[in-house]
């Protein structure tokens, strides 16, 4: 799930296009439809947050797949460093600064630079910032 905020307006959607783009510099991508009712927020946001959800979050997924409306009503969230809403849901949250965006036909391809020092992991309803991050590099798992 991807969230962003601009001028006090939060936006959120479930993305099926999230991908790693580059390791050096670290970059990720996702796409937003030009028909999105929150397109202005998405395109003007300083950054975005990627929420990695678990199976128990299907009600949240349903909420964020519907078109239009306030998807954040009744949810507990805080603003991240880029203004993106951070929800204490799922497995982890990765905040990214917008690096670039490109025309992708009926979608806009958004590229972000993750704040690797701001990876958040949710444990038993609380947020922790792990001391070490794991990554896969040269077919091996390594700690950052």
64 phi-psi bin (left φ>0, alpha ψ -120 to 50, beta other): alpha
How, if at all, do strands 107-114 and 47-52 pair? unpaired
Average pLDDT estimate for 15-39 = 93
Residue 37: pLDDT over 60: yes
pLDDT tens, position by position, 78-125: 999 999 999 988 778 899 999 999 999 999 999 999 987 766 665 545
pLDDT of res. 112: 96
pTM passes above 0.85: no
pLDDT tens, position by position, 50-86: 998 877 888 888 899 888 888 999 998 999 999 999 9
Q: In terms of CATH, what superfamily is 2-143? A: Electron Transport, Fmn-binding Protein; Chain A (2.30.110.10)
């Amino acid at each position: 799930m991807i969230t962003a905020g601009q001028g006090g307006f939060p936006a959120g959607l479930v993305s099926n296009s999230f991908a790693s783009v580059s390791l050096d510099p670290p970059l990720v991508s996702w796409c937003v439809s030009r028909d999105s009712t929150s397109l202005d927020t998405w395109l003007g946001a300083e950054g975005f947050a990627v929420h990695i959800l678990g199976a128990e979050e299907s009600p949240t997924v349903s909420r964020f797949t519907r078109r239009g409306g306030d998807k954040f009503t009744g949810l507990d969230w805080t603003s991240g460093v880029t203004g993106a809403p951070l929800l204490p849901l799922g497995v982890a949250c990765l905040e990214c600064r917008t690096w670039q965006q490109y025309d992708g036909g009926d979608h806009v391809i958004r590229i972000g630079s993750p704040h690797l020092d701001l990876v958040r992991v949710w444990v038993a309803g609380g947020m922790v910032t792990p001391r070490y991050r794991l990554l896969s590099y040269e077919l091996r798992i390594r700690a950052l």
